[in-house]
Structure 1
Amino acid sequence: MRVSSAQLGQYVLKGLDRQGTEYAKVMEQMSSGYRITKPSDDPLGTVTLLGLKSEQGSLDQYRTNIGNVSSRLEKAESYLDSSYQVMLRVQDLTLSGTNGAATDADRLAYAGELQSLRDTLLDFANAQDEEGHYLFGGSQVDKPPLVDNGSGTLVYQGDSLGRQVQVAKGVSMDANETVQNIYFAGGNNFFADLDGFIQQLQTPGASVSASGAAMLGRIDGAITGINRSLTDIGGRLSSLHSLDTAQQDLGLANDKVIGQIQDLDYAAAADKVNQIQLTLTATQKTYSQLSQLSLFDYL
């Protein structure tokens, strides 16, 4: 089959158009720094990228949640640790006040310090985070856990429920604490018992041996509750740290794969540009020669 000069010209023009399109594509890639600038560049790679980037978004949210929960738990841990130290002093003063050798003046001094420590424990129990949410009321974060019931007795108005926050795929963590099992375990009311003991210490000549012994038992129970909460928080913080590290590592691995799929190899792209330019030059030269042919060149 004989090919006319017109057909040859069309073939050359199509080649020029194809090479020009390829050149523009490579230049767009070099400008953006990405190998894939539109889904049609690599459909399978595009789908993979969408999945990886979605996972990266989830990992970022989980790590944000981990940071928020960790911050809240660390604050709770700090207040509980301070409460533990205060409770040890309450224990010492209760022992001293129960001692038969203590005078009424001694007991009055002990009562004054115990009252101050009692108020400190109350402040710690009603502690808030930087957003104004209460740390120790269970899921009731918008109201103080301990309040006066109107007759001078402190009562717990929180609950024992956990506020679950997702910190990894399929993993949730309690972001809150409660003082219910510290000060109100077994139906007891630590603050009511302490208030009663303080009142007895303030009463001249009152016998405090029985109430002192009972108070020491309440203090032991509160200390046990604080230690239990501290252990639980420590375990959660350790788990959160491990999850954060694992998700950071996974995120870095995903970033590497995303880069391998998405990022442009500049050296290879520059080499391709040179090849296209050489081909364009040769094609243009061929087209120029064809356009100068006449019918007499074929005779």
Structure 2
Amino acid sequence: MRVTNSMMVRNMLDHLQNNLGDLNDLNEQLSSGKLFQMPSDAPIKVADSMNYKSQLNRNNQFQRNLNQTENWLNTTESALKSGTEVIQRARELTIYAANDSMTSDDRKMVAKEMKQLRDELIDISNAKLGDSYIFSGQKTGEKPFILNSDKTDIDNYVDYQGDKNSVKRRLNENVEMGVNLNGHEVFKDKIDKLNKIYRQLENNIPGKDIKGEDLSDNLDEMDDFINDYAELRSQVGGKLQRTGNIIDRLEANEVHLRTLKSKNEDADLAEVITELKMEETVYRASLASGSRIMQQSLVDFIR
């Protein structure tokens, strides 16, 4: 094949353009820190990176759900702890007031504290997390308990306004957890019982003269209340332990996904710098070679 000067120049320009393109690719990798800039640069790697990013987004959403769940459960556990302390104190006062040596006036003095305990338990039952009432079921915007308008109904001092539906949070792909407790079951009978004892201490139950044994009759039920709260706190503690374990797994999974994503798309800067220096050397050699070819003209042969 006959090689002409124009062929040499054209080949030299093609190679020079290829070298310049390689040099540009390496410069972009060095400046961006990424192996590719456009999907067309590496379609398979781009698809893998999109998959990793999607998994990371789901992982982050689960972590947000878990943080909300932990806050909800911690608030619930705190309310149950406070409720237990109220019932225990009410029990102590009931035992104290059940002594038949207590006069009516003495019991009325005890009734003042019992009234405060009753009202405190109502406040505890209306606990909130942010703008949400945690014991109202799915009616989180509604206060769980309001006072019954019928003051003569001793056994129903408060009315429950929430519902009995479960508030659930998805914690990972396979776990959905109910985070709330039914406020009606947790507080209604306790509040009504404290109100009844208060009325007994005040000797304010129509048609009945309250004696020590009438107060003592409340103790077994109050013991049941304390045991109920202990069991509920155990359930909440178990859920908190489970959420903690899931958080640990999600955090470990996030580190793993970020590592895979980085290996897939991040450039090895030391390697890129080495290749860039090599390409610069090749490009300069191409320029030097091309300058010799381009310098030749008819004048060179006339000489």
**Is the pair's TM-score, using the shorter chain for normalization, greater than 0.5?**
yes
The residue number in structure 1 matching 2:162 is 158
- Match of 2:218, SS state, is helix
Q: Which amino acid aligns with 1:2?
A: R
Which residue type is aligned with residue 71 of structure 1? N
C-alpha spacing 1:247/1:241, structure 2 compared with 1 (3 Å): same
Query: What code does the residue aligned with 1:265 have?
Result: D
Following TM superposition, where does structure 1 have runs of at least 4 consecutive aligned residues deviating by more than 4 angstroms? 294-297
8 Å CA contact 2:90, 2:194 repeated in 1: no
Q: Provide the rounded CA distance (Å) in 2 between the counterparts of 1:192 and 1:268.
A: 75
In the alignment, what sits opposite 1:138?
137
Q: Answer whether contact 2:200 2:215 (CA < 8 A) is retained.
A: no
The equivalent of 2:58 in structure 1 is 58
1:28 is aligned to 2:28 = yes
Paired AA for residue 26 in structure 2:
V
Contact 1:135–1:178 under 8 Å retained in 2? no
Kept after mapping to 2: 8 A contact 1:182/1:223: no
- Cα deviation, residue 181, structure 1: 2.0
> Which structure 1 residue ranges, 5 or more long, are not aligned?
none
Please state how far the C-alpha of 1:294 moved relative to its aligned partner. Answer: 4.6
Q: Which amino acid aligns with 2:280?
A: Q
Q: Show the counterpart of 2:225.
A: 222
| In structure 1, distance between residues paired with 2:214 and 2:190 | 13
* CA distance in 2: counterparts of 1:108 and 1:201, whole angstroms: 6
1:167 pairs with 142, 157, 171, which one?
171
SS of aligned partner of 1:165: strand
Q: Secondary structure at the match of 2:169?
A: strand
Task: Determine the structure 1 residue equivalent to 2:203.
Answer: 203
Report the CA distance between 1:170 and its aligned residue.
2.3
2:86 aligns to what? 86
Partner residue of 1:289? 292
Residue 270 (structure 1) aligned to one of 252, 273, 276: 273
Q: Deviations over 1:142-193 (max 9, x none)?
A: 1111112311321222222211111211222223222322334xxxx33333
Gaps of 5+ in 2: 152-156
Q: Per the alignment, in what secondary structure is the counterpart of residue 146 of structure 2? A: strand
In structure 1, what is the Cα distance between the partners aligned to 2:42 and 2:94? Answer: 76
| TM norm structure 1 | 0.91
Q: For residues 269 and 191 of structure 2, what CA distance do their matches in structure 1 show?
A: 71
Task: Give matches, 1:62-73, under 5 Å.
Answer: 62-73=62-73
Task: Please give the per-residue CA displacement for 1:277-298, whole angstroms capped at 9, x wherever unaligned.
Answer: 111122112222222335786x
Q: 1:210 & 1:219 partners in 2: Cα distance?
A: 15
Amino acid in the other structure paired with 1:177: L
Q: Partner of 1:239 in structure 2?
A: 242
CA distance in 2, matches of 1:210, 1:100: 8
Q: Give the secondary structure class of the aligned counterpart of 2:170.
A: strand
The 1:140–1:220 alpha-carbon spacing in structure 2 relative to 1, beyond 3 Å, is farther
> Which one-letter code corresponds to 1:249 in the other structure?
A
Displacement after TM superposition at 1:224 (Å): 2.4
Aligned length: 292
Amino acid at match of 1:141: T
Determine the C-alpha separation between the residues in 1 that align with 2:170 and 2:186: 27
Residue aligning to 1:40? 40
Instruction: Give the deviation of 1:234 after TM superposition.
Output: 0.6
1:12 and 1:240 mapped to 2: Cα distance? 66
Residue 98 of structure 1 is matched in structure 2 by 98
CA contact (8 A) 1:111 1:201 kept: yes
Match of 1:117 in 2: 117
Q: CA deviation at 1:196?
A: 2.5
Cα distance in 1 for partners of 2:297, 2:202 equals 125
Which of these residues, 252, 258, 261, is aligned with residue 258 of structure 1?
Answer: 261
Distance 1:257 1:17, change over 3 A: same
**1:89-132 per-position Cα deviation (integer Å, ceiling 9, x unaligned):** 11111112222222222211221111110101110001112x22
Partner Cα distance (1:134, 1:124) in 2: 11
Quote the offset at 1:56 in angstroms.
0.6
Alpha-carbon distance in structure 2 between the residues aligned to 1:164 and 1:39 = 39
Which of 178, 183, 187 is matched with 1:179 structurally?
A: 183
TM-score, normalisation: structure 2: 0.90
